Amino acid sequence: MSMKRITSLVLVAVLMCAVFAGCGSKNATVTTDGSTSMEKVIGALGEAFEEEEGITVTYNPTGSSSGIKAVKEGTCDIGLSSRNLKDEEKAEGLVGTVLAYDGIAIIVNNANSVSDMDLETIAKIYKGEITNWKELGGKDAEIVLIGREAGSGTRDGFESVTDTEDACKYRQELTSTGDVITTVSNNEDAIGYASVASVTDKVKTVTVGGVAPTEETIKNGTYAVQRPFVLVTKEGVELSESAKAFFDYITSEKAADIIASAGVVAA
């Protein structure tokens, strides 16, 4: 047999070994897509998972509805939604697994003297029935309503809890949690809502009916404005070995402390 023939056979053998080894190994990356509110918790879980397993987890903050659509279309491994799946989404074969529960903070500017509201008051503010801060004991100034865009899981959760679906008189509808926080921090007359896990000292979180959003009050249900963080997959579509490993890791008991460190309550 010629040397050229031997070399060719060796190359073929090497390539076949690589192919079969690749088939039996985990993919190097897990892709997640969806809720901007879940950035902190998915970031913490992805970092811990990568350190333990050596597998990278990517996060694309497109909003809950876009993440759900990405799973439906097969363009990501795991979707992220900060609302429960709707009946029509379940009918399309989508499956939701609750990862954690998150409070939705009602936020105002740090200069605002108002520090507590009940659910009824919050609803009246967003429906335009209360329009001036002086009605709440604050200064004489028009209330500027900041919210999220249609399709946002945070908006869906907020409007469901406050019973304000299709009734909010938003001044601005923003596309991320960070934008809401920044906008409220720059406007003394603004009010907004954002994931508790994402809120910083740039804004003030008001209590709702005298209850502050904490791990304990979210867990025991005494803080009224809360919603689930949901992992979205598709029935009949098998996750890659890496994605399955990540899914199992973040829904296991050992991930609870990591989830808690991100400011939400593990389910």
**pLDDT per position as a tens digit, 71-114:** 999 999 999 999 999 999 999 999 999 999 999 999 999 999 99
215 and 117 belong to one structural domain: yes
Q: Is the pLDDT of residue 22 over 70?
A: no
For residue 250, tell me if it sits in a domain.
yes
Q: Say how many C-beta atoms besides its own lie within 10 A of residue 227's C-beta.
A: 23
* Whether the Cβ atoms of residue 147 and residue 192 lie closer than 8 Å to each other: yes
For residue 21, tell me if it sits in a domain.
no
Report the SS3 class of residue 146.
strand
For residue 173, tell me if it sits in a domain.
yes
172 and 260 belong to one structural domain: no
Which residue is associated with the tokens 């909010």? 168
Residue (of 75, 68, 69, 70) closest to 96 by Cα position: 68
123 and 165 belong to one structural domain: yes
141 and 189 belong to one structural domain: yes
Angstrom distance (rounded) from CA 231 to CA 188: 36
142 and 72 belong to one structural domain: no
For residue 132, tell me if it sits in a domain.
yes
Name the residue type at position 194: A
| Tokens (6 digits) for 55 | 């597998």
Q: Is the pLDDT of residue 215 over 90?
A: no
* Whether the Cβ atoms of residue 4 and residue 145 lie closer than 8 Å to each other: no
Name the pTM for this structure: 0.75
- Judged on CB neighbours under 10 Å (0-12, 13-18, 19+), 175 is middle
Average pLDDT over residues 162-167: 95
Q: Say how many C-beta atoms besides its own lie within 10 A of residue 99's C-beta.
A: 25
Give the pLDDT confidence score for residue 12 in this predicted structure: 40
Give the pLDDT confidence score for residue 197 in this predicted structure: 87
46 and 153 belong to one structural domain: no
Q: Residue 159's domain spans which residues?
A: 102-225
For residue 16, tell me if it sits in a domain.
no
Q: How many domains does the chain have?
A: 2
Name the residue type at position 130: I
146 and 84 belong to one structural domain: no
Give the pLDDT confidence score for residue 27 in this predicted structure: 54
Report residue 26's pLDDT band, with 50, 70 and 90 as the boundaries. low
For residue 3, tell me if it sits in a domain.
no
Q: Is the pLDDT of residue 8 over 50?
A: no
Using alpha carbons only, what angle is made at residue 42 by residues 37 and 47, rounded to the nearest 5 degrees?
145
For residue 11, tell me if it sits in a domain.
no
- Judged on CB neighbours under 10 Å (0-12, 13-18, 19+), 94 is buried
Q: Say how many C-beta atoms besides its own lie within 10 A of residue 170's C-beta.
A: 16
Q: Look up the CATH number of the domain holding residue 144.
A: 3.40.190.10
